[in-house]
Homo-oligomer: A and B are copies of this chain.
Amino acid sequence: MLKVPEHQVAGHIASDGKLGPLVDDQGRFFKPLQGDSRGEHEAKFYESFTSNKKVPDHIHRYFPVYHGTQLVEASDGSGKLPHLVLDDVVSGYSNPSVMDVKIGSRTWYPDVSEEYFKKCIKKDKETTTVSLGFRVSGFKIFDHQESSFWRAEKKLVLGYNAAGARLALRKFVSSNSPADSNLIPNCAFASEVYGGSNGILVQLLELKDWFETQTLYHFNSCSILMIFENESILTKGGDNVQAVQAQVKLVDFAHVLDGNGVIDHNFLGGLCSFIKFIKDILQSIDQRDETNTSPLENGH
């Protein structure tokens, strides 16, 4: 009963006999253990993290719930392979918009092989990892006009500069047609998705607080997933689209290391930069709203 996940936006995708994650219809996500010990490493991280009493409960909820490993039929037809069993973080949504943002100004870390270092730093320099401290890895948006998903092209996403990343973060929370690159994103959902008391920004700030003091783990090459759902609601004025259930999740732990008493300054620095991008969008919305309403307020 396992199938290819519909809402994955980055990483290995199961298809055409390729190995990739699978989901069931009970809300479970099956991630094949990657070769060269990375899979084992990720499983060990989940074991350690899940039982770690030093991690506060309000932080645990930013991570997928782990249910151990299990042998399941692999997506590439190679027979039964060990998979991590996780809660499928998008299973509660009908039409989730999803963005994957890899955090940190480097994806390599001390003591990796020269080969791995070179591969990582090349990509870190080519993308916004070095310059911004994060890079958008992929995203998809539910397009209400088309009633279908629009998916950003991987090649374009990895070619973003600072302006491209900023535009993608605006587009992600906009209701005008994502496929038309001539339209300026209207940021219709920005205040609901990024802002508000349960929005993305509040969640990122909670994570930041923890990262300022936690010295348990260094989250090398991890991603933040942002997930939300647009609900089309019929109102007097016509169709009104509202965004709900904005959620942040951390994923991809194949390169997590022990913190050894030092904070994860690489993740924290990138997270702070990402937070500033989100704040800038919210501020631009506020200013726009003020500009729109000021003539009325001034009695004109």
Residues of A within 8 A of B (CB): 105-106, 110, 125, 130-133, 162, 212-213, 215, 260-263, 265-266, 268-270, 272-273, 276, 280
Which single member of B105, B261, B262 contacts A265 (CB below 8 Å)? Answer: B105
For residue A130, which residues in chain B have a CB less than 8 angstroms away from its CB? 110
Contact check, A213 vs B276: say whether CB atoms are below 8 A apart. yes
Nearest Cβ in chain B — how far from A142, in angstroms?
Answer: 29
CB distance from A148 to the nearest CB of B (A): 34
CA distance A125 to B280 in the complex (A): 34
Min CB gap A131→B, angstroms: 5
CB-based contact A262/B212 at 8 Å:
no
Q: Say yes or no: B105 contacts A262, CB within 8 Å.
A: no
- New A-B pairs, 16, CB < 8 Å, besides A106-B106, A212-B276: A105-B105, A110-B130, A131-B262, A132-B265, A133-B265, A133-B266, A133-B269, A162-B262, A213-B276, A262-B273, A262-B276, A263-B272, A265-B272, A265-B273, A266-B269, A269-B270
Alpha-carbon gap, A105 to B130, bound state (A): 11
Q: How far is the CA of A276 from the CA of B132 in the complex (A)?
A: 23
Contacting pair A263 B273 (CB below 8 A): yes
A83, B162: Cα distance in complex, Å? 36
Q: List 15 A-B contacts (CB under 8 A).
A: A105-B105, A105-B266, A105-B269, A110-B131, A131-B262, A132-B265, A133-B265, A212-B272, A212-B276, A213-B276, A262-B273, A263-B272, A263-B276, A265-B272, A269-B270
Contact of A269 with B265 at beta-carbon distance under 8 Å, contacts A110-B131, A130-B110, A260-B162 already known? yes
Looking at the assembled complex, report how far the CB atom of A168 sits from the nearest CB atom of chain B, in whole angstroms: 15
Query: CB-CB < 8 A to A213: which residues of B?
Result: 276
- Select which of B106, B212, B215, B276 is within 8 A of A215 by beta carbon: B276
CB atoms of A162 and B273 under 8 A apart: no
Whether A162 contacts B261 by the Cβ 8 Å rule is yes
